[in-house]
Amino acid sequence: MILIIDDDREILTTIETYLQREGYATGTAIAGSEALVFAVRTPDLVIVDARMPEMDGFELLQEYTRRFSHRLTPFIMLAAVDDHEAVVRGLDLGADDIVTKPLRLDILRAKVRGVLTRKTRYTSPTFYGDLSRISCLKLLEFCARRALTGEVIISSASRHARLQIRGGAVVPPETPDPTEFLAGLYDLAEGTFVIHTQPLEFKEIEESAMPLARPAPDHERPPGRLTAIRFGARIFQVQTELTALPRDRIITIVNLGGKIILKRESLPREAALRAEIEKLIETQHRAVEDEIRERMNPEVIKEVKSREYLTDRFNQLFDEGCERFREKDYQTALRKWAEAALFNRDDPALQLNLQIVRKKLGMPPAKGR
């Protein structure tokens, strides 16, 4: 159901009639207070006029978010074509899109479709909590460490923001100064947040398992290979087979303690003879065995442990910088994060924090960033 709110009854009726002809269920209200009563039914989308008496669209958006912080309801705001202040304020408060008046109904339809399509990409809330316990700084750090993709909604008495997250990195908000906008969120000492993530791709689970082989007479199927490689208490099980999903493939998987840790595959040529496929199976199986032995080489293990140390040191410096930032010791936070950059300069959360702390200190943006 799409909830439409506008104090102009003619515009209200025009939008309602048009969207109903497009197949959408609708509900209407001529005032924000009336809309909040109606919103108990959980609309899929809210379309609201920015400028209304009693409770305008901005106030409605803030109050709706306060009351229903666990929801992921998109908002489209209507604003006069020359009302630039309404457009900027609406986006700052977290509106998903703006449609200008005089209305173009075909544009409204396209934006409704776009917003609803984006909404279906997300699940119900993954987590929501209190900014007085978990700061925005730590919140975005968590998203970066988990490489989340989705949306973070942050609400307080003075601010409302929707941040898109892609692979752990914050997508810069469409504001005149994104760094200043994010710095304001970092300063929030109270409020609420909601994390929404994209659904899992279950195809990934399917592909991580050994596909079922296509049924075939035993005399046509080349035999697979199954061996074990022991390193101390570790036993690596290496299995190679010919499969047929979606076409003939040679699949090798390595299992350690019931978990698949490595997967390799190759495609034999079309109509390859059995003897040729047997040779390919043997070659690929031995190559994977050699790869496992190489990875367990003492020098390789030493290198991996070195990388683990670098990761631990980066995380330590990053966290120390976060603590100093929360204490408003921006100089020390900058120093800690700058040192962390020596270990992992490309970390998206770190780069965002460096931009914000430099903004706090009145410093120009770093060159090349």
Please tell me the distance from the alpha carbon of residue 136 to that of residue 185, in angstroms, as a whole number: 6
Reference 94, options 15, 146, 152, 8; nearest CA is 152
pLDDT at position 357 is 94
Lowest mean pLDDT among 194-203, 259-268, 319-328: 194-203
pLDDT at 158: 79
pLDDT band at 206, cuts 50/70/90? very low
- Span 117-135, mean pLDDT? 73
The alpha-helical segments, DSSP class H, found in the chain are 9-21, 32-38, 57-67, 84-93, 105-119, 136-145, 178-186, 203-208, 274-295, 298-326, 330-341, 348-360
Check residue 125 and give its pLDDT.
57
Give yes or no for residue 297 having a pLDDT over 90. no
Mean pLDDT of 137-156: 85
Instruction: Judge whether residue 361 has pLDDT over 90.
Output: yes
pLDDT reported for residue 5 = 93
pLDDT-derived band at 36 (thresholds 50, 70, 90) equals confident
Position 38 pLDDT exceeds 80: no
pLDDT at 204 over 50: no
Beta bridge partners of 242: 250
- Range of weakest confidence among 135-149, 273-287, 345-359: 135-149
For the question of whether the overall pTM of this predicted structure is more than 0.85, the answer is no
Q: Are the C-beta atoms of 90 and 98 separated by less than 8 Å?
A: yes
For the residues 296-319, what does the mean pLDDT come to?
79
pLDDT band at residue 119 using 50, 70 and 90 as cut-offs:
low
The pLDDT of residue 205 is 43
pLDDT confidence of residue 216? 47
Mean pLDDT of the region 149-169:
83
> Given this model, what pLDDT does residue 150 score?
81
Residue carrying the six token digits 């490689």: 229
For 75-99, b/e burial (b = at least 16 CB within 10 A) is bbbbbeeebeebbebbbbbbbbbbb
Q: Where are the domains of the chain?
A: 2-119, 127-197, 204-295, 299-360
Find out whether 131 and 107 touch, Cβ atoms under 8 Å.
no
pLDDT above 90 as % of the chain: 32
Mean pLDDT (the chain, rounded): 83
| Residue 163 or 203, more confident | 163
Which of 3.40.50.880, 2.50.20.10, 3.40.50.300, 3.40.50.2300 is the CATH number of 2-119? 3.40.50.2300
Percent of the chain with pLDDT over 70: 87
- Please check the confidence at residue 180 and state whether its pLDDT lies above 80: yes
| pLDDT above 80: residue 121 | no
Instruction: Compare 216 and 181 and report the one with higher pLDDT.
Output: 181
